[in-house]
Amino acid sequence: MRIVIVGAGPVGLFCAIALADRNHQIAVVDRDGGPPPHGPWVRKGVMQFHHAHTFRSQVVDALCAEMPDVLDDLVARGAEVAVGPNGQTVALLCRRSTFEYALRAAAAAHPNVVVHAGHVDRVVMENGRAVAVASGDNRLAADLIVDASGRASRFTRSLRPPAEGGDCGAVYVTRQYRLHPNAQRGPVNSPIGLSLSYPGYLAIAFLHDNGTFSVTINHDGSDPRLRGLREAGAFETSVLAIPGLGEWVDPNRSHPITPVLPGGRLYNSYRGQLDETGRPVVPGLISVGDAVCTTTPLAGRGVALGLLQARALVSAVERCGVDISSATAEFDAWCVGNIKPWFADHVAADADRIRRWSGGDVDVSRRLPSDLIVAAAAADPGLWAVIEPYAHMTALPDTLLAAEPRARQLYASGWRPDVPPGPSRDDLAAICAERAA
């Protein structure tokens, strides 16, 4: 089939390569022309391109299954496959830019893939079916159009219903660094880096490739003084004040390689593909990745959920062939069962996190959110057998229900997770205010 894929991010490129390997003719359209021969890649339309990403084990599994040569290329480029204490794959440690460089190279080298630089203006409909996309004066005809253009998905905005969900109640600032030659990494508490949870904010160091790492501070955006974290001096001073995290950015250990980068407008969103009668809203077009679901980045599930979708979409197209409506229905049903539960989990957890970050205590009068159930394993390690599959995304969120009564009992007894030493949110805000004075 002739397949047009709109969007050349991780999900769009993965779909392009996987479908091209099955002898489909693929045209990828993206507003960005790809990396330049020399110099940095300024990725158009992707705010988070140089922000911290977690590439969970599902990403490694997807690459191993569909394009092991891309995984080999990533490792050759300096990415590292991180393993847990039991030897299981946990994550791929790399920057998003490194990840996209490797996927772009594989797509560009594939004989069945052509990448076009341009902005898709609209879907061309004939007899109630999507048959092409229009990009300026150009028209790309297709037997199937795949929308991998992200949550905003402007070219389908008038065609698809509004998404469920809303703002996830978090903003962040992040910065990339590189270790000096022969410098050792700072302290870690997981295979992907160091994660510290405080009342009102999170502080994280993410391991990447080639001695690079990111430091990120997440908060709810309610204190205007914390906007000062966007200023390099306030950011550095704040990070240095956080025990453990400050060791990472010690000038004797590392140096920054990006400005301080803000992240906002973060949403939990879900948008299906079918109308109230169970038929495709846009026959001939299937959305995938962030165009279907986004979740708060605090848990780092985005790329994993996107590539899980991509694999399911490729399988549906392979099974249904030219019957695109059946492929759409099959893929939508798969998403309802396997993706939407993560959306619902994040909506519930974020709502409770916002309440607690505003000063509320754990509410044991109602069902606990997933993050509190996971945290309870620190008090009762026996819970980990139930929690671990959820934590690694090998089981859906409802599996945590088996651990919830015991976790609630622990919280009702007065137990609370330990808070690491470090500044309060007010302390960080005071640092920002002092820097601004």
Q: What angle do CA 164, 168, 171 make, to 5 degrees?
A: 145
Task: Give the separation between CA 386 and CA 315, rounded to whole angstroms.
Answer: 30
> Going residue by residue through the chain (437 aa), what tens digit of pLDDT does each one get?
999 999 999 999 999 999 999 999 999 999 999 998 888 898 887 888 999 999 999 999 999 999 999 999 999 999 999 998 888 999 999 999 999 999 999 999 999 999 999 999 999 999 999 999 998 888 999 999 999 999 988 899 888 889 999 999 999 999 999 999 999 999 999 999 999 999 999 999 999 999 999 999 999 999 999 999 999 999 999 999 999 999 999 999 999 999 999 998 899 999 999 999 999 999 999 999 999 999 999 899 999 999 999 999 999 999 999 999 999 999 999 999 999 999 999 999 999 999 999 999 999 999 999 999 999 999 999 999 999 999 999 999 999 999 999 999 999 999 999 999 999 999 999 999 998 87
Each residue of 208-245: pLDDT tens digit? 999 999 999 999 999 999 999 999 999 999 999 999 99
CA-to-CA distance for 229 and 240, rounded, in angstroms?
Answer: 13
Superfamily of the domain at 2-166+267-346 = FAD/NAD(P)-binding domain (3.50.50.60)
Beta strands 129-135 and 138-141, pairing class: antiparallel
Contact 404, 367 (CB under 8 A): yes
DSSP, res 86: T
Q: How far is CA 300 from CA 52, 88, 90, 294, in A?
A: 9, 18, 12, 11
Residues 6+ apart with CB under 8 A from 36: none
Q: Note if the pTM is more than 0.95.
A: yes
Residue in 360, 304, 240 with CA at minimum distance from that of residue 62 = 304
Q: Which helix (H) or strand (E) holds 303?
A: helix 302-320
Per-residue pLDDT reduced to its tens digit, 158-195: 888 899 999 999 999 999 999 999 999 999 999 999 99
Closest CA to 100 of 315, 261, 303, 393: 303
